[in-house]
A and B are shown apart, each in its own frame.
Chain A
Amino acid sequence: MIDAFARVPALAAQHLLLAMAALALALLIALPLGVRAARAPRLAGVVLGTASLIQTIPSLALLALFYPVLLWVSSLVGGGVPALGFLPALLALTLYALLPIVRNLVTGFAALDPAVLEAADGIGMTPEQKLARVEAPLVLPIAMAGVRTAAVWTIGAATLSTTVGQPSLGDLIFAGLQTQAWALVIAGCVSSAALALGVDALLGLAERAAGRRQWRRVAAAGGVLLAATALASVPLWPRGGHDRTVTVGAKNFSEQYILARLIGDRLTRAGYTVRYRDGLGSAVAFGAVAGGDIDVYVDYAGTIWGAEMKRQDVVPRAQQLRAVAEWTRATHGVTLLGALGFENAYAFAMRGADARARGIATLDDLVPAAPRLALGADLEFLDRAEWAAIRRAYPLRFASTTPYSPTFMYRALESGRADVISAFSSDGRIAADGLTVLRDPKGAIPGYDAIVLIAPRRQGDTRFRAALAPLVGRIPVAAMRAANYRVDRDRDKQTPEAAAQWLAARVGLSSEE
């Protein structure tokens, strides 16, 4: 538990900075918008309707949507707009924070006593004087309540910014959920809640002080908040030796966390300062390395083949690797350093006893049995080209298909809620749970060699490449499965860091240098 909290301060700082920046930007937009909407009922309808509509978009989706939008904007202006990291998180959270602020402004103005406004006009106030001397002080308490709501929402939703590559307390939550390390989840949730409560309390203090016109207290509360935010931004200030700081990316599952630490450890020993961007969505990871948001990460040949190159044909693994390397370099300047030596391919798996009882050993055997079986798939599998390719080769029709997050997919298989799952060939639970992996006699499943991809700016960094070169071809699938299992198993779980050290020792990479 103490280990889990060790990462909190750095992440909490980033988290606070992001949330406060979004809140400030939202205020900048919402204040004039809200005041104007309060005077024009039709505008208020449009603004509140739009803000409510934005609110109905799940925050995870809203964050993810900014990735293609910013890519498009970037291409319009000739590049340079980051589609990952701080910017998309900031924009999505800002949109989220707009509604409570604008709504409370409009409500606050609507609740003003008409007699007070008539008196303000009657004694000869100009519209500006009326706003400053009468409307603003009277609307302030309600407006502040909106700002506090927005602050709490923003801090909560900022945990999701992990998925677009912006470090936040969500890093702990996502990593913890994937590896079932509940201490990490608790650390992330508790810290994020504490941050929200703290900011809310400060804003509440400012609100009450403003109500009593104690401006020094308002300034003090605001000052504390500003100072905390400024302090949070310190690690982000540019320093000398920036080139020595590298960012290692990881998608959101155990193997990725382990491999990122394995890579990070080697880079640390080579003299680099290493940061991690954990929990990247599969769709954004390649964009992150191409855009230089991360310096290196591990992807899978089949993922690039299908999702990026839009290829649906299946070719031999070596040929596929060459084609992927050629394509990433030519189109994005991304270097494929090499394959690690194992595959993390889609593999249909069944409970061992069940498969034997039904006499199913291959995908061909599965076809006639499928209508009586339930398929549990990972979240993206059913939409992927691989699934379509497999169905072209094997006309599979299941009684039901249900998407699960990877961890729960195995649970579903174990508990009988699913009979067949779209497992991953390097998963430690295959051996540990005694699962049967169905063979693919028609070769319909494309190769999924784990490959190390390097950002364009590291292409000529020989020290960087030299530090990672020993990994190429070094990790057999059995070693990867075992390392994954150390993190995924229910009892005596290890952290990805520990599993990475274990893996390095197992493949003979830890004692050199």
Chain B
Amino acid sequence: MPEQSPGPAVSFAGVTKRYGDGAAVDGVTLDIAGGSFVALVGTSGSGKSTLLKTVNRLVVPDAGRVAIDGRDVADEPPARLRRRIGYVFQNVGLFPHLSVGDNIAMPLVLAGRRDPARVAAMLDLVELPRAFAGRMPAELSGGQRQRVGVARALAAEARLLLMDEPFGALDPVTREALAGAIRRLHADLSLTTIMVTHDMAEALLNATRVLVMQAGRIVADAAPAAMLAGEAGDAADALVAVPRAQAERLTAMTR
């Protein structure tokens, strides 16, 4: 894989989104460097998914501005913006009436490209047999489906990958395998990756930077090692305590 320039930088400036009385996202200002793998951690309702979706305008903020490489995401039609951004989410949303190959090729079709070789290359990339191109989504397991979802998200050479609980519906073994695949993709393609998860262990093990959200605000921001060292504040410590305790109990059992 040749050296590539890193994926785009993403910046949030005073981003706010209200639903009814409460603010789901409350004035978030944040810079994400190109090429980083950022995990957004928080309990449900903390606003992490909402914040993620302001990047590809699936959510339009009430105030503030989101920019990719300095360019406001509101400056172009949302469909065009989204074709440059890979989006993977828990329920995958494969098109049930299209074969795996046609699902992966859809972003290419939208871009006016016909490139059968690209579909095969994407299947290689997510470590699925090429013969899967002819299968229908209903014939796949949950993990296989999510791999196809990732392949589809990256088919049109997106350099920014947004993931909303990508492993949420998977069993632990599949989850670990897919997480490994994503880490390799992130590195090989020099992506900028933002992953939303409620699982602190998943965040610590995969990301290079972990952000903790609470009630619409970023309350902790640190590298995984610093977060484990207790340098990221109380909110982060509370979330880190759970996997740490689990790990310690597991270790104790082996003694």
The residues of A with any CB-CB pair to B shorter than 8 Å are: 113-126, 129, 133-134, 137-138, 213
B58 A121 Cβ-Cβ under 8 A: yes
B110 A129 Cβ-Cβ under 8 A: yes
CB-CB under 8 A from A122, the residues of chain B are 56, 58, 82, 87, 89, 93, 153
- A129 to B91 CA separation, bound complex (whole angstroms): 21
CB-CB under 8 A from B255, the residues of chain A are none
B110 A124 Cβ-Cβ under 8 A: yes
A118 B89 Cβ-Cβ under 8 A: yes
A115 B92 Cβ-Cβ under 8 A: yes
B106 at the interface (CB under 8 A from A): yes
CB-CB under 8 A from A114, the residues of chain B are 91
- A119 to B106 CA separation, bound complex (whole angstroms): 11
| Shortest beta-carbon distance from A106 to chain B in Å | 20
A116 B96 Cβ-Cβ under 8 A: yes
What are 28 A-B contacts defined by CB distance under 8 Å? A113-B93, A115-B89, A115-B91, A115-B92, A116-B93, A117-B93, A119-B93, A120-B93, A120-B95, A121-B82, A122-B56, A122-B58, A122-B93, A123-B82, A123-B106, A123-B153, A124-B80, A124-B81, A124-B83, A124-B107, A124-B110, A125-B110, A126-B77, A129-B79, A129-B110, A133-B106, A137-B97, A138-B97
Instruction: Determine the residue in chain A with the shortest Cβ distance to B80.
Output: A124
B39-90 contacts to A, CB under 8 A, are 56, 58, 77-83, 87, 89
Of A119, A134, A213, chain B has the most CB atoms within 10 Å of the CB of: A119
Instruction: Determine the residue in chain B with the shortest Cβ distance to A130.
Output: B79
B219 at the interface (CB under 8 A from A): no
CB-CB under 8 A from A124, the residues of chain B are 78-83, 107, 110
| Shortest beta-carbon distance from A306 to chain B in Å | 63
B96 A126 Cβ-Cβ under 8 A: no
Instruction: Determine the residue in chain A with the shortest Cβ distance to B82.
Output: A124
Count the B residues whose beta carbon is within 8 Å of the partner chain — how many?
A: 25
B94 at the interface (CB under 8 A from A): yes
A119-B92, A119-B93, A123-B107 given; name 7 further pairs at CB < 8 Å.
Answer: A119-B87, A120-B93, A121-B58, A121-B82, A122-B93, A123-B106, A126-B77
| Shortest beta-carbon distance from A133 to chain B in Å | 7
B152 at the interface (CB under 8 A from A): yes
- A137 to B98 CA separation, bound complex (whole angstroms): 10
B96 A123 Cβ-Cβ under 8 A: no
- A114 to B95 CA separation, bound complex (whole angstroms): 11
Of A118, A120, A123, A126, chain B has the most CB atoms within 10 Å of the CB of: A123
B 88-127 to A, binary, CB cutoff 8 A, 1 in contact else 0: 0101111111000000001100100000000000000000
A118 B93 Cβ-Cβ under 8 A: yes
- A120 to B97 CA separation, bound complex (whole angstroms): 13
- A133 to B103 CA separation, bound complex (whole angstroms): 11
- A124 to B157 CA separation, bound complex (whole angstroms): 13
A-B CB proximity, top 7 nearest: A119-B93, A115-B91, A124-B83, A122-B87, A124-B82, A115-B93, A126-B79
| Shortest beta-carbon distance from A138 to chain B in Å | 6
CB-CB under 8 A from A133, the residues of chain B are 95, 106
- A117 to B96 CA separation, bound complex (whole angstroms): 11
Of A121, A126, A138, chain B has the most CB atoms within 10 Å of the CB of: A121
CB-CB under 8 A from A117, the residues of chain B are 93
B87 A123 Cβ-Cβ under 8 A: yes
CB-CB under 8 A from B94, the residues of chain A are 116, 119
| Shortest beta-carbon distance from A113 to chain B in Å | 7
Instruction: Determine the residue in chain B with the shortest Cβ distance to A126.
Output: B79
- A113 to B106 CA separation, bound complex (whole angstroms): 18
- A119 to B149 CA separation, bound complex (whole angstroms): 9
| Shortest beta-carbon distance from B155 to chain A in Å | 9
Instruction: Determine the residue in chain A with the shortest Cβ distance to B111.
Output: A124
- A179 to B89 CA separation, bound complex (whole angstroms): 70
- A107 to B254 CA separation, bound complex (whole angstroms): 56
CB-CB under 8 A from B156, the residues of chain A are 123
| Shortest beta-carbon distance from A115 to chain B in Å | 3
- A118 to B149 CA separation, bound complex (whole angstroms): 12
CB-CB under 8 A from A119, the residues of chain B are 87, 89, 92-95, 149, 152
CB-CB under 8 A from B97, the residues of chain A are 137-138, 213
A123 B152 Cβ-Cβ under 8 A: yes
- A120 to B156 CA separation, bound complex (whole angstroms): 14
